[in-house]
A and B are shown apart, each in its own frame.
Chain A
Amino acid sequence: MQGSAAVVTGLAAANCRQNLAGPPAGGGANDGTLHIYTWANYTDDGMAAAFTERTGIPVVVDIFDSNEVMLTRLQAGGGDAYSIIYPSDYMVSEMLELGLLTELDQSRITGLENLKAQWANPAYDPNNAHSVPFCWGTTGLLYNHEASPGEPTDWNFLWDNQAKLSRRITMLDDMRETLGATLKSLGYSYNSNNPAEIEAAYNRLLELRPHIAAFKTTGFENELLSGDLSVSMAYSSDAIALTLEDDRMQYVIPESGASLWTDTLAIPATAPNVDAAYQWINFLLEPEVASAAVERLFFATANQAAFDQLPAGIQNNADLYPPEAVLAKSEGIVAVDTASTDLFDQFWTEVTSA
């Protein structure tokens, strides 16, 4: 049994197969393989093959599609299945509170000094003590300019054109992002703890709700391309891939500010094969590896040395690297207090179940 499991994982590593399924058979065992749990399109065969060639450690990649799914699997006993996970900023804070992350031994990590100043001491994990920023992006509006009644520049576009856009809008199926964008459109913070502000955002979202076709985090792309949808709220990583695929697609970071998200590399508290995990982190912090990955996989890097090596075309892509003025108005989503979480939750349930 053990032997056949090794053969299976060996084969999987050779293809760098990306599993959507659960933890791999024998994943809990320290079998010398590096098990990674990450977002879709955050690794590719080339990256894994280069790592295996360098270190001799086979890599198996599993995919999650939301932080909550990842957290649930780790809490439900998958904590010893993965050596490396990719939680987002707010999830790092939450997992820290739950004691689910290993405190990083920074003497074993090389290249932290290459991080951009903005990520040297992030609010979600002071001094990067438990996580290493891997990539970042924004949440904005992706639109088909042939099917849109104008060029959106801000969140208010949705409310101002709601009649023309009726049932041609999707928003993210993500409580903090969608209610947060509504808060921002009212001039409030994504991370408001003020019940009156949160309620005002709820009422404003309720006004738009009859015109929203669906709350979707994925699966809106085809309808947007065919012109059946006009505007979709989207993460920049998904949106930019689509804008490069089709000229009619445009991505805009709203003027009044968007959410800034960071996805990190972290080691679960009960991770097997911690040595391999550190090797993976060091590998990805190398400027050559990081810039090659950015060129292939279209996300923004938090690594200044890697950024400097990028071709000018990518460095100047304002969708990927927005101007400072826009960044200054944008915010990272951080945990709000318990009463506000419950309020967000109650209003989100009302909006999505009405």
Chain B
Amino acid sequence: MKIQNSNFPYPPTLLTFPTLLTPMTPAHSPTPSNTWADRLAPRLWLGPVTLLGPAGVWLLVLLVLPTLLILEISLVPGLRLGQPSGGYGLGNYLQILQPVYLRVIWRSLVFAVGSTALCLLMGFPVAYWLALMSPQRWRNLLLVAFILPLWTSSLLRAYAWTTILRPSGVLNGMLTAIGLPAQNWLNTPTAVFIGLTYSFLPYMVLILYASLEKLDIRLLEAAADLGATPRQCFWKITVPQTLPGIAAASLLVFISTLSDFVVPTLLGGASSMNISRLIYNQFLGPTRAWGFGSALSMVLILAVSLAIALLIRYGDRNTVTEA
């Protein structure tokens, strides 16, 4: 939301919208004391309701209510489906504090932070080159080529990595061909980092590209004219100017990797239990501890909400300062 709009609740087009749906009050109204605006005012709510209603109902029924239900279930300690339960309590949340579960949460965070950092390190140069250095007429094509893998299922892409990473796989074929030692990365945390970074790199590049594209080249030219080295230009102009984009891309990748299920399951092997797999096991595994699973879900929802709050606070700054 741009600040310039803040004293003007609806774009002008919305003001005219209700008149399409409700009959206009005739011009020769018997109460001429009312101005046109007065007569329209009570119906102002119709526009937002019509526009926001469908999505609002959708979100209420499919997001808000289920989340509240999860919250309720999480407050029943030891709840197992089909078994009588005791009253409400915080037992499920206290259970999360056991070392084994804290280890799982810690591992999920390491996977998420690590792969976000790798995405940023690899994605920034690509986005920089695409936005500022690549030939103009190839730019869109290159961008499409980069995000093309996203058009296939994430499950298939993760599965393809098992073929690449397994000991007799494509990667080791290439490594041994150029005289490097073979690696056994499948079913290790390394494979999880590789898979997550690969899966979410296109998102990183897309957002950074959008941010870098808006970078004012004249600032760089002015700095160069005034004697700044390329390194100074990069750290004093490019990075600060695109910081909101970097924050937005990093937080988005962080949220996605934190809750990813497919990559750790297929590539991580025995040492890759993360929070989303743990939640899955509580609901569909042998224990069927729905109460504990719901508490874990609430923790994940809270962590992601926090990241989104940071995203709105810091990631969106450029639009605010623009306005």
Contact = CB atoms under 8 A, between A and B. Distances in A.
Interface in B159-215: 162-163, 166-169, 184, 186-187
A21 interface: no
B82 interface: yes
Interface stretch (B9-17, B123-131, B268-276, B305-313): B268-276
A335 to B, nearest CB: 11
A107 interface: no
Interface string A61-76: 0000010110110010
B111 to A, nearest CB: 14
B81 A167 contact: no
B270 A176 contact: no
Nearest to A76: B81
B224 to A, nearest CB: 54
Contacts of A349: 100
Given A72-B283, A219-B266, A228 B186 contact: yes
Contact of A227 (B162, B168, B273, B287): B168
Main secondary structure on chain A at its contact with chain B? helix
Contact of B287 (A213, A214, A345): A345
B103, B286, B287: most-surrounded residue (chain A CB, <10 A): B286
Contact of A228 (B166, B266, B286): B166
Contacts of B100: 349-350, 353-354
B81 A72 contact: yes
Contact of B288 (A72, A209, A226): A72
Interface string B251-272: 0000000000000001011110
A98 B269 CA distance: 34
B284 interface: yes
A215 B270 contact: yes
A352 B288 contact: no
A212 B273 CA distance: 14
A167 B103 contact: no
Given A68-B285, A226-B166, A213 B82 contact: no
A175 interface: yes
Contacts of A223: 162, 166, 186
Contacts of A176: 286
Contacts of A226: 166, 168
A354 B278 CA distance: 12
Contact of A68 (B103, B162, B284): B284
Contacts of B269: 167, 212-214
B119 interface: no
Interface string B237-248: 000000000000
A47 to B, nearest CB: 28
B266 A72 contact: no
B99 to A, nearest CB: 10
B284 A213 contact: no
Which of A175, A212, A353 has the most chain B CB atoms inside 10 A of its CB? A353
B286 A175 contact: yes
A167 B166 CA distance: 11
Nearest to B289: A345
A223 B186 CA distance: 10
Contacts of B75: none
Interface string B62-86: 0000000000000000000110000
A71 B166 CA distance: 35
Contacts of A354: 100, 103, 271
A4 B82 CA distance: 35
Contacts of B279: none
B74 to A, nearest CB: 17
A213 B266 contact: no
B104 interface: yes
Contact of B168 (A68, A228, A345): A228
A248 to B, nearest CB: 14
A226 B167 CA distance: 9
Given A72-B288, A98-B82, A175-B286, A214 B270 contact: yes
Interface string A186-226: 00000000000000000000000100111100010011001
A52 B284 CA distance: 33
B286 A167 contact: no
Contacts of A66: 284
Given A214-B269, A354-B271, A72 B287 contact: no
A213 B186 CA distance: 8
B270 A213 contact: yes
Closest 7 CB pairs of A and B: A214-B269, A353-B273, A213-B187, A228-B166, A98-B82, A175-B286, A228-B167
Given A176-B286, A214-B187, 17 more contacts: A174-B286, A209-B270, A212-B270, A213-B186, A213-B187, A213-B269, A214-B268, A214-B270, A223-B162, A223-B166, A226-B166, A228-B167, A349-B100, A350-B100, A352-B270, A353-B103, A354-B271
13 contacts: A68-B286, A71-B81, A75-B81, A167-B187, A174-B286, A176-B286, A213-B270, A214-B187, A222-B162, A223-B166, A349-B100, A352-B273, A354-B103
